[in-house]
Every structure is written in C-alpha cells, then in structure tokens.
C-alpha cells in the first residue's frame, strides 16, 4: 500500500532533503523514524529536492508499506515523537499505487524572505539585506520570467538534458520590515529560485541593468549573475496535486 506524508521542516541543520552517505538530511531522518515505528526498512520518495539550509512549510513524500494504517492520527503522533523537533509530520493519507510524490505534482511554489533590518531571531530563516531595494523596478521585470523558458543560466549545472521550466506566477510583496518573493512553476532547477532572487535584487539595487533577465534567458551565460541569494531565506511553501490526492 502506498501512503503520502505531508511534512514541514526547518532546514538549518540539514544538507537538504535527499539522503547522503555522511551528512544529515531530512529524508534520512524521515526514513529512520518510519523504519523504527513500523519495524521494517522504509524508504521515502520526495516531491523534489531542497538545498542545504532551505526550509519547507509544505513538503510531500510517499512510501510503501505492507500493512494498512488504521489510525492515522496515532501514527502521526508517534512519528512526531520520534522525529527531531525541526521536522514535523502534518498529515498522512492513502494514495493510488500509480501515484508519485515528484512526478504527480502539478506545481510547486517557493517563497523567499528578505528582512530589511538585522534580526538575530531570523538569522537562519531570512536574508538580511540592508541596502535600499527598488521594489517597483523589480515588479516591472517579473513578467519577463512568466512562461516556458530555458533557465539553464539560473541553475547550477545538473546531469539533465532539459532546462525548460514553466513559471506560472511570480510576485513580490513589500512590508515595513521585510520583502517576500513568491514563484510558482511546474518544476524548479537546482539554485534556480536563489539565482532569480539574486538577479532581481541586483536589478532593484542598480547593480545590473534591467535587460539582464532577457540576456540570461537568451544567451544562457550564468557567469553574468553577480548575486545568488543565500539558502536560509528560501521556503518551499506549496505543492499541488490532482484534486483529491492530498485529502
């Protein structure tokens, strides 16, 4: 039987989601906790990957189990007691056998938090950027990102043949003390959101010209990116699946 877990985590102490041989990861902790509770070797499959220090408000992973789960609330309670305090399971539900946490996802939304004032409470949860940012100038350039583009210039080199991503929505919200970027797409490449935020900040602070986004999409020259936003401000905030999957 196949089950889907909804979880959230603070990524500060982890080398991303994906299991590694010698480093702590969220997947390794989840696999270990599931295996302890169900007393069998369990391996999860995540909805995507997160880099070192990146957080998730909503993340999904599926796993297979020989027996049926009868009391989901009880299982969630005991698993959360086993897991470290910076990882929390929010929900578990049964899914069809052909469901896949990664490939069945319709869209993903990442948000990036910038704080305008130095705040030690947010040291590992936001990017402190003390310079003045022209958010209107950034808003004027967000539409350039919308649609299907080759985002290879915005991504760390990966062993893939296709760097095309379809960005459905990109927004920036400014408040008194902080700025939030949100980007929704069918998929994301490694360091893509952090690179996009870095480019937008460089435009909003007049470090680079507004035409940089078009140049990067056209010429695919990653060396032109002068700023890559640090990982601690990045959050996976939403993953969507076909209706009824996550009920």
Tell me the per-residue pLDDT of 93-126, one tens digit each, with 9 for 90 and over: 999 999 999 999 999 999 999 999 999 999 999 9
Map out the domains of the chain with their CATH numbers.
2-103 (3.30.70.580), 107-238 (3.30.70.660)
Helix spans in 63-133 (H): 72-82
Three-state SS across 184-201? Answer: EECCCCCCHHHHHHHHHH
Residue 141 pLDDT > 70: yes
Residues marked as catalytic: 51
Tell me the per-residue pLDDT of 128-140, one tens digit each, with 9 for 90 and over: 999 999 999 999 9
If you ran DSSP here, which 8-state letter would residue 66 be given?
A: S
Tell me the per-residue pLDDT of 54-95, one tens digit each, with 9 for 90 and over: 999 999 999 999 889 999 999 999 999 999 999 999 999 999
The string over 98-135, giving b where at least 16 C-beta atoms fall within 10 Å of a residue's C-beta and e elsewhere, is ebebbebbebbbbbbbbbbeeeeebeebbbbbeeebee
| pLDDT bracket for residue 208 (50, 70, 90) | confident
């Amino acid at each position: 039987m196949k089950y889907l877990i909804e979880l959230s985590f603070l990524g500060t102490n982890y080398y991303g989601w994906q299991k590694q041989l010698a480093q702590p990861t969220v997947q390794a902790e989840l696999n270990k906790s599931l295996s302890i509770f169900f007393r069998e070797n369990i391996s999860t499959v995540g909805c995507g990957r997160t880099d070192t220090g990146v957080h998730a408000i909503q993340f999904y992973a599926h796993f297979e189990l020989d027996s049926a789960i009868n009391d989901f609330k009880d299982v969630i309670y005991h698993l959360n007691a086993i897991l470290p305090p910076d990882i929390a399971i929010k929900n578990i539900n049964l899914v069809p056998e052909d469901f896949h946490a990664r490939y069945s996802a319709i869209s993903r939304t990442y948000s990036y938090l910038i704080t305008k004032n130095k705040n030690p409470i947010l040291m590992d949860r936001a990017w402190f950027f003390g310079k003045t940012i022209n958010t209107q100038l950034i808003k004027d350039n967000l539409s350039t990102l919308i649609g299907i583009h080759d985002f290879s210039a915005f991504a760390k080199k990966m062993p893939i043949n296709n760097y095309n991503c379809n960005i459905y929505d990109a927004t920036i919200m400014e408040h008194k003390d902080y700025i939030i970027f949100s980007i929704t797409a069918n998929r994301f490449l490694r360091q893509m959101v952090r690179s996009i935020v870095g480019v937008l900040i460089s435009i909003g602070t007049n470090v680079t010209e507004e035409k940089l986004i078009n140049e990067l999409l056209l010429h695919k020259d990653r060396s032109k990116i002068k700023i890559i936003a640090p990982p601690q401000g990045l959050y996976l905030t939403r993953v969507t699946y076909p209706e009824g999957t996550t009920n």
